[in-house]
């Protein structure tokens, strides 16, 4: 039986790495798959891991119709056994419903990877619909860590190292952004609620040790 599986976690927990590994494993067994992504930090139409792995993929737009895409490929003689969708939190709720239909009516496995909540700790529409429809939701076991060393459970948006809680839900940035740019940081719930980033902690106590982990 085909499945719709949502692999979820915070930033830095290895989602893109696992997506590429899963593609490799299935392709090595002779299965034909299609890779999709949306707004990857490395640019358009690419899945990138912080470990340095990259793979070309199809860029998802608001107009993308997964059902029509798979039907078109099969009509032209291209087998499709599975889909891998990275950055799935950015998909629309309707697109997630299309993915569920692809699983149920065409027997195609769909493996979706993404973060669940935004910088305000609110669910992304795509992630919310995946949680509602997925056959399984898998929380990635690789732990991203807050600057304090505790398990990171929340994504924070920063500007100049200071956490912000207002603005558009989707603003492209990275954990390696410069001091004056929009950036992102993973925090434990306690420090997310206190808006205490690594930079804020250092400013309050320069001698305080902080942990900077990046697991890709």
Domain ranges of the chain: 4-139, 154-204
Structure tokens at 69: 């895409």
What is the rounded distance in angstroms from the CA atom of residue 120 to the CA atom of residue 167?
9
Write down the pLDDT at residue 84: 98
Confidence band of 172 (pLDDT split at 50, 70, 90): low
pLDDT of residue 90: 95
Is the pLDDT higher at 168 or at 156? 156
**Across the chain, what does the average pLDDT equal?**
88
- pLDDT at position 214: 41
Query: Does residue 209 have a pLDDT over 70?
Result: no
pLDDT of residue 112: 97
Kindly state which CATH superfamily the domain 4-139 is placed in: P-loop containing nucleotide triphosphate hydrolases (3.40.50.300)
Percent of the chain with pLDDT over 70: 90
How far is 108 from 81, CA to CA, in rounded Å? 5
Q: Rounded CA gap, 60 and 7, in Å? A: 18
> Which sequence positions are flagged as catalytic?
87
* 191 has pLDDT over 90: yes
């Amino acid at each position: 039986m085909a499945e719709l599986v949502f692999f979820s976690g915070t930033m830095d927990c290895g989602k893109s790495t696992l997506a590429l590994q899963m593609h490799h494993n299935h392709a090595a067994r002779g299965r034909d798959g299609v890779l999709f992504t949306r707004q990857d930090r490395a640019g358009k139409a690419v899945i990138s891991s912080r470990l340095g792995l990259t793979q070309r993929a199809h860029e998802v737009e608001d107009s993308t119709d997964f059902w029509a895409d798979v039907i078109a490929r099969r009509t032209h003689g291209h087998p499709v056994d599975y889909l891998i969708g990275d950055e799935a939190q950015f998909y629309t709720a309707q697109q997630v419903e299309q993915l569920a239909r692809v699983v149920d009516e065409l027997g195609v496995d769909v493996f979706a990877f993404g973060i669940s909540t935004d910088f305000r700790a609110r669910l992304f529409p795509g992630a919310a619909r995946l949680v509602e429809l997925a056959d399984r939701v898998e929380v990635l076991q690789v732990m991203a860590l807050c600057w304090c060393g505790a398990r990171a459970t929340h994504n924070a948006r920063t500007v100049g190292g200071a956490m912000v809680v207002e603005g558009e839900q989707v603003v492209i940035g990275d954990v390696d952004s410069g001091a004056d740019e929009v950036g992102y940081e993973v925090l434990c719930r306690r420090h997310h609620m206190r808006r205490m980033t690594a930079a804020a902690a250092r400013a309050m106590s320069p001698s305080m040790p902080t942990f900077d982990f990046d697991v890709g």
